[in-house]
Amino acid sequence: MNEAPILLIDSDEDDQAMFIKALAELKSPHPPLFFDEGEAALEYITSSETVPFLILSDVSLLKMSGLEMRREIEKSPALRKKSIPFIFITHPVDERTVEHAYEFTIQGLFEKKATYAEWVSQLGAILSYWSACYHPKQFQKT
């Protein structure tokens, strides 16, 4: 069975490499799909028939920030209907960033962890939660 991908939107290649390694360690059935900027990720979710399992995005991105990308998703009834869980994983985290992010409908905001072990633990918790959680896209017919 071909599982829905996890979109990781982050311009840091080291974070992308750590993400690949962590997904393999966690034995995730969801293949990673990387974008280093928001516009390309938005184009993908707009034009693709594949509905991602979830979106993990940095706040600071090239061309279009994660916040701007989230705003565009919310403005689109078609994209909102896809019910893709949207989670920010960013660094640094400050009060203003958290307040601004939660002005949108997001499902979480996490600070990037400093060590690989912490990264695996954090990612494992996120994947476990969304694997067990019911949400509208699970009932959409393909």
* Domain contains 75: yes
Q: Interhelix angle for 13-25 vs 116-132, to 10°?
A: 60
Domain that holds residue 133: 6-139
Closest CA to 79 of 46, 40, 48: 46
* Chain-centre distance for alpha carbon 2: 19
Q: How many CA atoms lie within 13 A of 9 on its CB side?
A: 30
For residue 77, give the DSSP letter: H
Please report whether residue 86 resides in a domain.
yes
Assign residue 74 the CATH number of its domain.
3.40.50.2300
Per residue of the chain (142 residues), give pLDDT as tens. Answer: 468 999 999 999 998 999 999 999 999 999 999 999 999 999 999 999 999 999 999 999 988 999 999 999 999 999 998 999 999 999 999 999 999 999 998 999 999 998 999 999 999 999 999 999 887 766 665 4
**Has residue 113 been placed in a domain?**
yes
Residues 6+ apart with CB under 8 A from 85: 53, 54, 55, 107, 130, 133, 135
134 in any annotated domain? yes
Do 53 and 4 form a contact (C-beta atoms < 8 A)?
yes
* Model pTM score: 0.91
Give a yes or no: residue 1 inside a domain.
Answer: no
Domain assignment of residue 48, yes or no:
yes
Please check whether residue 52 lies inside any domain of the structure. yes
Calpha distance 92→77 (Å, rounded): 31
49: in domain: yes
Helices (H) and strands (E) in the chain, counts: 6, 5
**How many domains would you assign to the chain?**
1
H or E, element range at 109: strand 108-111
